[in-house]
Amino acid sequence: MAASAKRRRGWRKRLGALARFTGALVIVGGLYSVFSPGLYAQESEAGAIDADAVKGQELYDTSCITCHGDNGEGVEGRGPSLIGVGSAAVEFQVNTGRMPMAAQGAQAPDSDYPVFTEEEAEWLGAYIEYLGGGDVVPDDLDALVAAGTVGEGGELYRVNCSSCHGFSGGGGALSSGAHAPSLSGVTNEELYQAMLTGPQNMPVFADNQLTPEQKADLIAYVQFIVNDDRDPGGVFNLGRFGPSTEGLAIFLVGMTALLLTTLWIAGKS
Amino acid sequence: MKRRKGTSDSLLTKAGGELDDRFKLAGPARVLLNKVFPDHWSFLLGEIALFSFILLLLSGTFLALFFEPSMVEVTYHGAYVPLQGVEMSKAYESSLDLSFEVRGGLFMRQMHHWATLLFMAAILVHMLRIFFTGAFRAPRETNWMIGILLFWVGFFEGFFGYSLPDDGLSGTGLRIMEGMTESVPFIGPWASAALFRGQFPGTDVISMIYIIHVFIFPLILLALITVHVGLVFAQKHTQWPGPGRTEHNVVGFRMFPNYVMKQVGFMLFIWGVIGAMAGLFQINPIWLFGPYEVSVVSSASQPDFYVMYLDGLIRLFPAWEFRAPPYFTLPAVFWPAIAGMGLSVVLPLLYPALERRFTKDRGHHNLLERPRDNAARTSLGMMVVVFWIIGVISGGNDVFAEKFHISLNAMPWAGRIGIVVLPIITYYVTYRICLGLQQHDREVLAHGLETGILMRDPNGRFYEVHQPLAEPDEHGHTELEYNGWVVPKKMNRVGALEPADKGFFKSIEEPSDNGGAERRDEIESGKH
């Protein structure tokens, strides 16, 4: 009895030591992973090339390599290096039909008919991710957007975005033939990717400038004004261009209708 | 039974008699009701502005009941979700409440804005009619000048109006006005500081322009309009030349009942068009613009169309800054904004006097001129129109560039070259068109109408048969004098073919065989 009890106590002691040791390891490991730069963790994850990246590489070598070069290193005067741009940038450019670009110009135009499917874009993204890591879109983006505050998003939108995309998200002209596109019909994911990676002429809004939550607020606002605002002022919103199209409307609709009326009234006797 | 004897007619007569006994109404009323107005569609353009103005007074009164002209900062808790929790001025908050929470408020706001645009558009179109027909000539120069002043008072009234809601776009407009004011040499900064009571935007400007917008300027407009219309009554309306019309009579309809009925109908029609536009077309969606913050300037920020040409001139003018160290700087914006606006006020005001001086035409004119008959004036007017249109397009050149896929850098250069070159080309082309039209009128008067019938004489020569308008002399010429009015150019205008069909939407008179079948047959046989 006594011996067995003693043995049992020793067990417990050893078990306790093990628990303490594990606990200490977890704390140290946790602290390490908190304070160490995130890049290391990602690199160790993506050490070996996976199946998706291999498929991505096949596509890359046939469709992208002309301008972006071997292993995404870039070609002087044709296309920038893609090392470190991340899957967010790749998926944005490919899914919106901007890449592959048909011809060099002021700006790659977006297209409703992208060359690759979304799955293929993911493979390409995986390959670029394999080459040098980079920015990715959070998995729970839609939940983040659903939790976003539209009001805060509006304030952020007016300060950061309206100077190019306009108050109503209709887009606007930029210098030398470039333009800021309209934001209608753009998915949450694409909006996030665009802010994160700054495609074409757009500046990068990295996470230290706009946190993921702020980006989600912004997306919630953009989706509101584009989809939910529904233009309470009338059946026609005149493209939301403001006074330019309003001025056109008063002459083409109002004045024209009344000029016809003058002809009618003056003809009556 | 005896009391039933009087008919309603005699009751009216009796009531009229009683009123006349007390107020001496019959004399003036008879003059007024019997006043004759000439009838032509182009004489109804000013009325569009007049009736829009009445609607502006009515809808503006409604808006003033709910709008609070205060720049006190509040936090929005109203119905529009994306602005909830946003700091804004009381003026902007009350404009939002007016749009979303006051019953019919958004409709009234939009009606007020569309009526403004129609008011200004109608003034412009009316002014073009007056200009191109020479209606501003003596003795009506004063009324022309009052009209020009009406445009400019309306211009600033409208500008102040869209500044009031204190949204992002209106603040941007005020910012530009501040810049323009400051560019005036010597007094600029002081004037701007007086307007904003210190630094832009300050906390007072909305309440100041509110009083200007709802009281002072409407009063000035009302006074000017009263004098404008009163002068038309006193000096009598101009008329087109034509049968029975001279410099000394007026041919047309009496005020009552004909003209009054037309005017009331037209007024209701105008209000209907404005109401329909206010219900169908969204205008100035201030909720999208957000509250004004100095740091926020959206792309595609334009003023209303009547201010846009000035914005365009500012965009086009090169950055020529004049410096006289150490103290004096004349910014480039002074030239298009202040000098440009000054010339746009002064030159139209002086135009009647200038034309008198250059043409040495000192006579009084109650008959209008067709635009083709004064080629120089018409061409000059078209020059200004083209200049103005290029200015307006340049005011929206970023929208234009984006939607038509033109480089934004190309737009100002196209505007700069265009605004110098195109008016000159326009002058020449218009002049030639006017001369051509004049010539064709004279040709028809001398040789007759082109019938479209080709004949071949025994020598094999082809010629077109002309229908002379009067008995020709031995040379085949008809000595008809041009009387300043439409010369018939088609056979059906002189009753030789199918008769002219009157009426706008549908025929208001049955076609008659007008002149007999033989003549018609004769001409038809010539076609074979």
What's the complex ipTM? Answer: 0.89
pLDDT of B509 strictly over 60: no
In this prediction, residue B510 carries a pLDDT of 53
Provide the pLDDT confidence category of residue B68 given band limits of 50, 70 and 90: very high
Mean pLDDT of B377-404: 96
The type of residue at B458 is P
pLDDT of B527 strictly over 70: no
In this prediction, residue A268 carries a pLDDT of 63
- pLDDT tens per residue, range A128-185: 988 888 888 888 899 999 999 999 999 999 999 999 999 989 889 998 888 999 998 8
Q: What is the rounded (10 degree) CA torsion for B4, B7, B12, B17?
A: -80
Give CA–CA dist B448/B490, Å, rounded: 10
What proportion of chain B, given as a percentage, has pLDDT over 70?
92
Q: Is B506 part of the contact surface with chain A (CB cutoff 8 Å)? A: no
* C-alpha distance from residue B105 to each of A41, A210, A234, B90, B161 (Å): 58, 37, 13, 17, 16
Per-residue three-class SS string for B325-366: CCCEEECCCHHHHHHHHHHHHHHHHHHHHHHHHHHCCCCCCC
In this prediction, residue B518 carries a pLDDT of 44
Contacts of A148 in chain B (CB under 8 A): none
Interface test with A, best of B106, B251, B284, B402 (most A CBs within 10 A): B402
Which of A1-15, A202-216, B405-419 bottoms out in mean pLDDT, i.e. has the lowest? A1-15
Interface test with B, best of A258, A260, A264 (most B CBs within 10 A): A258
Closest to B217 (Cα-Cα) out of B142, B159, B141, B172: B159
Give the residue, A44 or B431, on which the prediction is more confident. B431
Q: How far is A91 from chain B (nearest CA, A)?
A: 26
Strand partners, B324: B328
- pLDDT tens per residue, range A244-253: 999 999 999 9
Closest to A42 (Cα-Cα) out of A125, A136, A106, A112: A136
Give CA–CA dist A137/A88, Å, rounded: 6
N- to C-terminal Cα separation, chain B: 77
In this prediction, residue A112 carries a pLDDT of 83
Contacts of B265 in chain A (CB under 8 A): 265
Contacts of B398 in chain A (CB under 8 A): 172-173
Q: How far is A209 from chain B (nearest CA, A)?
A: 17
In this prediction, residue B208 carries a pLDDT of 93
Q: Are B343 and B337 a contacting pair, CB within 8 Å?
A: no
Contact residues, B window 98-137, toward A, CB-based 8 Å cutoff: 99-100, 106, 110, 113-114, 117-118, 121-122, 125
Q: Are B291 and B87 a contacting pair, CB within 8 Å?
A: yes
In this prediction, residue B7 carries a pLDDT of 59
Q: How far is A230 from chain B (nearest CA, A)?
A: 11
Give the residue, B476 or B98, on which the prediction is more confident. B98
Residue B196 phi, psi (nearest 5): -95, 5
**Half-sphere exposure (CA, 13 Å, Cβ side) for B319?**
0
Contact residues, B window 47-86, toward A, CB-based 8 Å cutoff: 48, 81-86
pLDDT of B479 strictly over 80: no
Average pLDDT, chain A: 86
H helix or E strand, kind and range, residue A173? strand A172-173
pLDDT of A46 strictly over 60: no
Average pLDDT, chain B: 90
pLDDT of B1 strictly over 50: no
Distant-in-sequence, close-in-space partners of A116: CB < 8 Å, separation ≥ 6: A59, A63, A94, A95, A124
Closest to B205 (Cα-Cα) out of B182, B171, B176: B171
In 10 A of CB A71, how many CB atoms? Answer: 17
Search chain B and give the residue with CA nearest A163: B298
Give CA–CA dist B80/A154, Å, rounded: 12
Q: How far is A41 from chain B (nearest CA, A)?
A: 39
Give CA–CA dist B163/B177, Å, rounded: 11
In this prediction, residue B243 carries a pLDDT of 82
Mean pLDDT of B336-341: 96
Contacts of A234 in chain B (CB under 8 A): 110, 278-283
Collapsing DSSP states into helix, strand and coil, what is residue B297? coil
Interface test with B, best of A107, A152, A246 (most B CBs within 10 A): A246
Q: Under the phi-then-psi rule, with left for phi > 0, alpha for psi from -120 to 50, and beta for the rest, what region is A16?
A: alpha
- pLDDT tens per residue, range B281-334: 999 999 999 999 999 999 989 999 999 999 999 999 999 999 988 888 899 999
Distant-in-sequence, close-in-space partners of A229: CB < 8 Å, separation ≥ 6: B82, B287, B288
Contact B117 A242 (CB under 8 A): no
In this prediction, residue B498 carries a pLDDT of 53
Mean pLDDT of B107-122: 97
Q: Are B69 and B161 a contacting pair, CB within 8 Å?
A: no
Search chain B and give the residue with CA nearest A265: B262
Identify the DSSP state of B203: T
In this prediction, residue A70 carries a pLDDT of 86
- pLDDT tens per residue, range B73-90: 999 999 999 999 999 999
- pLDDT tens per residue, range B232-261: 999 999 999 988 888 998 888 888 888 899
CATH of domain B37-356: 1.20.810.10
Token pair in block for residue B180:
């323009």
Give CA–CA dist B378/B436, Å, rounded: 13
Nearest to B504 among A153, A155, A264 (CB): A264
pLDDT of A12 strictly over 50: yes
Q: Are A121 and A91 a contacting pair, CB within 8 Å?
A: yes
Residue A172 phi, psi (nearest 5): -165, 170
Nearest to B408 among A173, A247, A264 (CB): A173
The type of residue at B193 is A
Strand partners, B73: B89
In this prediction, residue B8 carries a pLDDT of 62
Contact B125 A155 (CB under 8 A): no
In 10 A of CB A119, how many CB atoms? Answer: 10
Mean pLDDT of A214-234: 91
In this prediction, residue B318 carries a pLDDT of 95
Q: Under the phi-then-psi rule, with left for phi > 0, alpha for psi from -120 to 50, and beta for the rest, what region is B246?
A: beta
Closest to B270 (Cα-Cα) out of B51, B110, B40: B51
Give CA–CA dist A74/A67, Å, rounded: 7
Most confident of A14-18, A93-97, B428-432, B468-472: B428-432
* C-alpha distance from residue B522 to each of B370, B391, B453, B494, B515 (Å): 35, 56, 11, 16, 12
Token pair in block for residue B460:
């094999």
Nearest to A241 among B82, B277, B399 (CB): B399
Give CA–CA dist A258/A264, Å, rounded: 9
Contacts of B296 in chain A (CB under 8 A): 158-159, 162-163
Distant-in-sequence, close-in-space partners of B448: CB < 8 Å, separation ≥ 6: B466, B467, B468, B469, B472, B478
Contact B304 A247 (CB under 8 A): yes
Give the residue, A228 or A205, on which the prediction is more confident. A205
Q: Under the phi-then-psi rule, with left for phi > 0, alpha for psi from -120 to 50, and beta for the rest, what region is A187?
A: beta
Give CA–CA dist B248/B236, Å, rounded: 10
User: What is the DSSP pairing of strand B449-456 with strand B328-330?
Assistant: unpaired
Q: Are B171 and B100 a contacting pair, CB within 8 Å?
A: no
Collapsing DSSP states into helix, strand and coil, what is residue B436? helix
In 10 A of CB B379, how many CB atoms? Answer: 20
Sign of CA dihedral B386, B387, B390, B396: negative
Nearest to A265 among B262, B302, B407 (CB): B262
In this prediction, residue B268 carries a pLDDT of 97
Contact A254 B118 (CB under 8 A): yes
Contact A166 B300 (CB under 8 A): yes
Q: Is B259 part of the contact surface with chain A (CB cutoff 8 Å)? A: no
Nearest to B282 among A159, A174, A231 (CB): A231
Search chain A and give the residue with CA nearest B406: A177
Contacts of B40 in chain A (CB under 8 A): 266
Token pair in block for residue B396:
């929206």
In this prediction, residue A4 carries a pLDDT of 61
The type of residue at A83 is I
Residue A179 phi, psi (nearest 5): -150, 155
Give CA–CA dist B28/B34, Å, rounded: 10
Q: Are B221 and B7 a contacting pair, CB within 8 Å?
A: no
In this prediction, residue B55 carries a pLDDT of 97
Distant-in-sequence, close-in-space partners of B183: CB < 8 Å, separation ≥ 6: B330, B331, B333, B334, B337, B338
Q: How far is A211 from chain B (nearest CA, A)?
A: 20
The owner of tokens 């308008």 is B469
Nearest to A176 among B48, B122, B409 (CB): B409
Search chain A and give the residue with CA nearest B48: A258
Mean pLDDT of A223-232: 88
Distant-in-sequence, close-in-space partners of B411: CB < 8 Å, separation ≥ 6: B394, B397, B398, B400, B401
Nearest to A154 among B86, B253, B300 (CB): B86
Q: Is B300 part of the contact surface with chain A (CB cutoff 8 Å)? A: yes
In this prediction, residue A40 carries a pLDDT of 47
Contact A254 B273 (CB under 8 A): yes
Q: How far is A251 from chain B (nearest CA, A)?
A: 7
Contact B118 A264 (CB under 8 A): no
- pLDDT tens per residue, range A47-88: 567 888 899 999 999 989 989 988 888 888 888 888 888 888
